[in-house]
Amino acid sequence: MRGPFILGGLALVLGSALVLVAQKEAVVASGQPVLLRLAPVDPRSLMQGDYMQLNYAISADQGWDNEGRPRDGNLVLRLDSDGVGQFVRFDSADVPLAPGEFRLRYRIRDNRVRLGAEAFFFQEGHADRYEHAKYGELRVAESGTSVLVGLRDEDRKPLGDAVH
């Protein structure tokens, strides 16, 4: 009697995971490419293998006051001539996007601004390949959801691909 419930629950969990993967793949395939300058980071975790904890300069540059600011929302950005996202303003329902502007979702957790792509995993032993990263390369959907797809050096050249 419990078998159908267990199988139904398992199917629901697997189906949900497949939907999430499909959504991320759609953002990677059709999202707008955006580079964000990185701020200093803690490079590795012994418990999780080799990865780089990312901190974006745009998160630190805005003087987040957390007072009166929603814990979840969107930044409005515009790309400069090098494809680097520049902060324009915080999104507001009463101010429409101007041409060339787009949304990037943020969340404030533990007094830290998160853009949804704060860790870059790489193959063990390849830390030296990524230690000079200066930009995170994201794909951003129209909704503001982002997916980290790689890191870039000071000249904005790719350093490698994220481990999916």
Q: What is the pLDDT of residues 38-78, one digit of tens each?
A: 886 655 554 456 777 888 888 776 656 656 677 888 999 99
**What separation in angstroms does the CA of 59 have from each of 96, 105, 106?**
22, 11, 9
**How far is Cα 105 from Cα 149, in angstroms, rounded to an integer?**
16
Of the CA atoms within 13 Å of residue 44, those in its CB half-sphere come to 12
Tokens 């101010």 -> residue: 95
What percentage of residues in the chain have a pLDDT greater than 70? 84
* pLDDT attached to residue 100: 94
Mean residue pLDDT across the chain = 81
Element (H, E) at 25: helix 3-30
